[in-house]
Structure 1
């Protein structure tokens, strides 16, 4: 089978099935994550919360990614991909379903935090799957394939949640609806891939980390490897860039519906314009990895797209109407291009047996920005009564990221 001129047989049949399973998991998790932004106006009224609290609610799972991606990535290196994802996705989906029983803000916040812990356990294993099951020449392509699930899941969560909410009657029922959908997806993934994972990890090609006693940790070795990871420029620079990207991306995605409503847009149209960003990401995360694999020059995509993001955000302040749809498309292409390139880089760093921890650190640091962005922009909106200052801040941070991406080698 040939895809964009690439012979897919360079990865085994089981590898592509495992990657498809990873796609399904991340698609489901991103639907669950991105149900919050379109519900923020409703939650603000229903739970009587501020914009800052709404931003904090959206950022809660991202906080767990920041805190737990590295230690859970390290644990995943020891117990194996399947068991790590199995535990992580189970925690995430169960917590997501329990969001439906929330009646006050802090209950919803608590279950969102637990959902984030499960998410954080799954996430570092995606680059690990690519590293373990695909040859280096397909790193970008395989990363691009599973990354498609991220904007697509986000688009479904943002674009359809309000419509589904109207149909099922309440935001609690909406959480239950998406939770059950994700539970069915997890069950399907489990039966689809368990045997394949077990067969692959029994083969001589892989070091069976899960045979180790996960509690028998050499502390001095762990400290040494941790310091090595934390001081590697090849890891730190992508982590900083991912942090800046996520700060801008999640702030934009989280508050754009509310910003457009402030500008006089109808809620359904503002949600559509925001979800359009994530739909347009899809072709970007397919095409950009293919190009970067061919050119073997990933940095140029990073700093070029960051600069384009800054121009688009500044332009958003001075134009409205149909221009917003153009800006959404530009942001979607740029966000997707940078994101998939940085994920590809995270899969290339480190040995196969250590990808979990290196990718975990990149994701942990990378989602600091996602954690900080929405609450800060929400606070600026509460303080000033408008989003203009927040949008300008995001534009300047994008310029900073472009400069870092251009100056440093990684």
Structure 2
């Protein structure tokens, strides 16, 4: 159900603002893995503790997802996104003082809260603010911006350390990108307040669809996909530095993984506007992910760049199409936000244990073979779940 676009900024300005905010939703996570050896040496952190730096924001993304609806009910969704990006800016800026352990983890926690609020509310805002025939394309732009931020932060973490003189400055410098997002979102905030006042039916219940079978299926799909994605993000670069790669080159490998997501993350949702049965896209993306994970497990030194690109293409499309599911299986913008709140709570909370658990598995086994085997098995589960996501499933209302 759409509402009149009264008082809203033009679509092009909304798109720019969405891109500026989305670009900040993975930098706090992706900027860390290329610097893990430096962090371990300076702070004396174990592999499990380093994995927790990726685990913590993902856990926040799960635990705080339900609270996003309550905050949006009080402030409005657009105002809540502005608050969220402020939390990201403050949390990332705390890393300037990361010479001790507590500012590093405290800042990561605060940034994770901001990512949780924004990530939960943006799918509903896409359904509310943009024409319905453009929801897939806009979701692709959102994904493109998010993965661009992740790719840039992983590629530049080590070079920025050299240019700025410390890993603290390298990690903290991404707060500048957050400031850009906060400023770009201001026109949306002002326009949405007037739009919300003109459409009071947008203010609805914040209950989550716990008894809805479709919501649980979407949550299960996102759970296995998120476990794979965040675990790969945390351990792809370290697995090759452990093989003797230079940290800069390992960071570039992670950037290749995220760069492939730029293409597939835009292409998958754009195609979803034209293909009715999205299982075709979901299954294709899952097969690509399976090939990449299996390559990293069975033939890690044969073609690492190829495996990273294939895996990135599969994971990028898989996640972007997961965002499309928030719109597909919702009858209204409010229902989309409710579905996102529940699905993100379940998926991110469970997925948050992936990086640290696999770090502990690596510590126990002395290598990364068991890590990539586990992720390959998870991709098989993703493939099975994708086949169940029929277009005629009952929508969340």
1:44 aligns with 2:25: no
In structure 2, the gaps of 5 or more residues are none
Residues 202, 247 of structure 1: alpha-carbon distance in 2 compared, 3 angstrom cutoff: same
1:375 aligns with 2:356: yes
TM-score by length of 1: 0.88
Correspondent of 1:201 among 186, 196, 213: 196
Residues 167, 322 of structure 1: alpha-carbon distance in 2 compared, 3 angstrom cutoff: farther
Residues 252, 203 of structure 1: alpha-carbon distance in 2 compared, 3 angstrom cutoff: same
1:393 aligns with 2:384: no
Give 1:356's aligned residue. Answer: 337
1:217-239, Cα deviation, whole Å (9 max, x unpaired): xxxx76xx43xx01212211111
Give 2:115's aligned residue. Answer: 119
Deviates more, 1:100-109 or 1:253-262: 100-109
Q: Determine the C-alpha separation between the residues in 1 that align with 2:350 and 2:289.
A: 16
Give 2:164's aligned residue. Answer: 168
Residues 176, 262 of structure 1: alpha-carbon distance in 2 compared, 3 angstrom cutoff: closer
Deviates more, 1:371-380 or 1:313-322: 313-322
Q: Determine the C-alpha separation between the residues in 2 that align with 1:352 and 1:342.
A: 16
Give 1:261's aligned residue. Answer: 241
Residues 66, 373 of structure 1: alpha-carbon distance in 2 compared, 3 angstrom cutoff: same
Aligned residues: CA RMSD: 2.1
Any idea what SS the aligned residue of 1:54 has? helix
Shift of 1:47: 0.5
Shift of 1:384: 0.9
Structure with the largest fraction of helix: 1
Give 2:298's aligned residue. Answer: 318
Give 2:222's aligned residue. Answer: 242
Pairing of 1:226-237 with structure 2 (within 5 A): 226=208, 229-237=209-217
Correspondent of 1:293 among 258, 270, 273: 273
Correspondent of 1:75 among 71, 78, 99: 71
Q: Determine the C-alpha separation between the residues in 2 that align with 1:161 and 1:261.
A: 15
Q: Determine the C-alpha separation between the residues in 2 that align with 1:360 and 1:19.
A: 23
Q: Determine the C-alpha separation between the residues in 1 that align with 2:389 and 2:168.
A: 46
Q: Determine the C-alpha separation between the residues in 2 that align with 1:97 and 1:364.
A: 26
Runs of 4 or more off by more than 4 Å in structure 1?
none
Q: Determine the C-alpha separation between the residues in 2 that align with 1:86 and 1:203.
A: 21
Give 1:275's aligned residue. Answer: 255
Shift of 1:112: 0.9
Q: Determine the C-alpha separation between the residues in 1 that align with 2:61 and 2:152.
A: 22
Q: Determine the C-alpha separation between the residues in 2 that align with 1:109 and 1:176.
A: 13
TM-score by length of 2: 0.90
Q: Determine the C-alpha separation between the residues in 2 that align with 1:125 and 1:19.
A: 15
Q: Determine the C-alpha separation between the residues in 1 that align with 2:305 and 2:12.
A: 35
1:8-59, Cα deviation, whole Å (9 max, x unpaired): x9xx862332232121011023223321111111111111010000001111
Q: How many residues align?
A: 384
